[in-house]
């Protein structure tokens, strides 16, 4: 927080933050939908974490580590691009959180997708004596399909 009378930086936090105990820029990643117009404000808010008085850390080495991790976090958020998905040639669904440099498999995609298709695909049954399959049409309440010509 700006204090024109002080020669030192003051934190915006009422109390110093504890050491997170983990790597702020590493670990498990998430994909969040954040409006691009909000990124500068988020980065500006994170800049508060670059002020040593924001932290309840007395060890100079650890403080240096935390400030480096905050810098990495600001860089990651400030340069973030859209979350990406792709379907591989072997029908594996993958996502990328780093602009497509690396890809991660969507958990259980290969196991669950065939069941999803089977449950949600209309079944066309040829009746004996028909030359062409019936033409499916969505019913009035969009919950099922009806066929023309109707089944006998």
Instruction: Provide the whole-model pTM.
Output: 0.57
Which pLDDT does position 73 carry in this prediction?
A: 92
Task: Give the torsion through C-alpha atoms of 117, 123, 124, 126, to 10 deg.
Answer: 130
Mean pLDDT, the chain, rounded, equals 82
**For residue 133, which of 145, 123, 124 has the smallest C-alpha distance?**
124
Between 5 and 53, name the one with better pLDDT.
53
Give the torsion sign (CA, 86, 92, 98, 102): negative
Which pLDDT does position 74 carry in this prediction?
A: 93
- Taking residues 26-43, report their average pLDDT: 85
Query: Residue 19 contacts by C-beta under 8 Å, 6 or more apart in sequence?
Result: 55, 56, 57, 62, 66
Query: Is 93 strand, coil or helix?
Result: strand
Please write the tens of the pLDDT for every residue from 116-129: 777 777 666 666 77
Distance, CA of 42 to CA of 131 (rounded, Å): 64
């Amino acid at each position: 927080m700006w204090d024109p009378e002080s020669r030192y930086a003051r934190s915006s936090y009422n109390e110093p933050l504890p050491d997170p105990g983990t790597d702020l820029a590493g670990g498990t990643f998430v994909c969040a939908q954040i409006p691009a117009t909000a990124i500068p404000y988020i980065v500006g808010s994170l800049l508060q974490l670059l002020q040593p008085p924001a932290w309840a850390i007395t060890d100079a080495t650890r403080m240096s580590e935390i400030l480096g991790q905050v810098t990495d976090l600001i860089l990651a958020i400030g340069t973030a691009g859209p979350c990406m998905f792709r379907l591989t040639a072997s029908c594996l669904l993958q996502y990328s959180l780093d602009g497509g440099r690396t890809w991660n498999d969507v958990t259980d995609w290969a196991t669950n997708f065939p069941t999803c298709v089977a449950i949600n695909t209309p079944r066309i049954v040829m009746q004996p004596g028909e030359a062409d399959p019936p033409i499916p049409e969505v019913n009035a309440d969009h919950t099922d399909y009806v066929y023309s010509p109707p089944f006998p």
